[in-house]
Amino acid sequence: MLAIRNGKIITPNQILERKILLLKQDRIEGFADSLDGLNGIERVIDAHGCYIMPGIIDVHSDKIEQYIQPRPMSQVDFEFALRICERDLLSAGITTIYHSISLFGDEFFGSSPLRTKENVQKLADLIANIHLRNHLIRHRFHLRVEIDNLAACDIVREMIGQGKVQQISFMNHTPGQGQYRSIEAYRETVSKYNGRHNGKEVSMLSADELQEYHANKPKLSLEQQRELTRLAHQNDIPVASHDDDSLEKLDENLKIGVDISEFPISIETAKAAKAQGFYTVVGSANILRGSSHSGNLSAAEAVMEDCADIVCSDYYPAAILHSIFHMNEKHGIPLPQMVNKASLNPARAMRIERDYGSLEAGKKADLLIVDILDGYPVATHVFVDGRATLDIEYRR
């Protein structure tokens, strides 16, 4: 067994300061008051008063795209990118990642070779296969389906049948609703993605032209989305909706069978989503920035108003760990409550809470030792399946 002592152990409901955490192989054995009389202790780690918390479960991150394509015209080997990415994820305290890969229907956000059917499936194959070889953390596949991609139905069916998808979400980036209620916000964002349509700069299209194009293009019907949701649930795969902006959209989600509301647009929508039983997801970078980059919901406000169940990285993995301690220090949110939003609640939403998400006897030994250095939380040790995958020491 491995024993970790002299740490502040963050459990779902409290912080234990005079307990020893015991690990046996890949599981948490339990807690002890003393090492006296314990047999089979092979190694003892002194946490030196640092925090001990469960590994972070990130349910939504598209960061892998930036590793594969660091510049618009530069693409690197997929596996090389994944291996470099997971090192950074590990140092951020993330032990399970749901890589969010998009299937867009058009190229308003710029043509991306990563969002073709062939490359989406290539990345899914790699994520599924990496666990058969050397790896550091758990990689999972979150397939994001833009509802104007009519080919997505067959792709989703095929990939679920192959066992390569662990989460799906439906997206609608039509301007005038959702994330882009403001046409100008949509135009500004799209122009930064170098988006083009029929050779015409998106920034040159009028608001009426934009809305007419998006309003008239074919989209997946509610029945098609409901069918994919049923298939996902039959395979124990959770389903999310993206950028919910109204009670009507939430009612639509209920009809489809959606489980999760990602990035609700307003505090009113977030409260309604939680009241209707959806898991609500907000971005950690939003918390650190103090606002949404799209001018929408403040994630910190949603946490304080108790309508944010899960904190994810979205596009900035390092932000999750920092947001946990930021909300505790700046807004007084108890650490166990914030840690749950990055571990136990994501595990529940992903239907893996039996094994992951909290420091409890019998669960997988995925955990972090976190020190506060110069005011910043730092994961100095990371364990995955009870094995030390990260052990670093800062210099002064």
| Structural contact between residues 61 and 313, judged by C-beta atoms closer than 8 angstroms | yes
Average pLDDT of span 258-272? 97
Domain at 56-172+220-349, CATH class: alpha beta
Q: What does the pLDDT read at residue 216? A: 58
Four-point Cα dihedral 343, 322, 141, 264, nearest 10: 90
Average pLDDT of span 383-394? 96
Q: What does the pLDDT read at residue 200? A: 43
Q: What does the pLDDT read at residue 386? A: 97
pLDDT range class, residue 219, cuts 50, 70, 90: confident
Q: Which of residues 174 and 378 earns the better pLDDT score?
A: 378
Dist. CA 134–CA 201, nearest whole Å: 45
Q: What does the pLDDT read at residue 178? A: 47
* pLDDT of 291 over the 80 cut: no
Average pLDDT of span 242-248? 93
pLDDT range class, residue 186, cuts 50, 70, 90: low
Residue type, 201: E
Lowest mean pLDDT among 94-98, 176-180, 248-252, 382-386: 176-180
Average pLDDT of span 247-262? 97
Average pLDDT of span 231-258? 96
pTM for the full model?
A: 0.90
- Tokens representing 385 are 């399946």
Four-point Cα dihedral 37, 365, 54, 261, nearest 10: -150
* pLDDT of 284 over the 80 cut: yes
| Percent of the chain at pLDDT exceeding 70 | 85
Average pLDDT of span 356-367? 98
Q: What does the pLDDT read at residue 206? A: 55
Q: Which of residues 214 and 301 earns the better pLDDT score?
A: 301
pLDDT range class, residue 73, cuts 50, 70, 90: confident
Paired residues of 282 in beta bridges? 311
Segments making up each domain of the chain, as ranges:
2-52+360-391, 56-172+220-349, 182-218
Q: What does the pLDDT read at residue 110? A: 47
Q: Give the right CATH number for 2-52+360-391 from 2.30.40.10, 3.40.50.2020, 3.90.25.10, 2.40.50.140.
A: 2.30.40.10
Average pLDDT of span 94-100? 97
| Structural contact between residues 28 and 53, judged by C-beta atoms closer than 8 angstroms | no
Average pLDDT of span 87-96? 98
CA neighbor of 27 nearest in space, from 358, 350, 336: 358
* pLDDT of 191 over the 60 cut: no
Q: What does the pLDDT read at residue 197? A: 40
pLDDT single digits (tens) 104-154: 655 544 456 677 888 899 999 999 999 999 999 999 999 999 898 888 899
| Percent of the chain at pLDDT exceeding 90 | 78
- CA distances, 8 to each of 211, 222, 369 (Å): 54, 48, 9
Same fold, 2-52+360-391 and 56-172+220-349: no
Q: What does the pLDDT read at residue 22? A: 98
- CA distances, 147 to each of 100, 106, 150, 174, 351 (Å): 16, 11, 7, 10, 25
* pLDDT of 280 over the 60 cut: yes
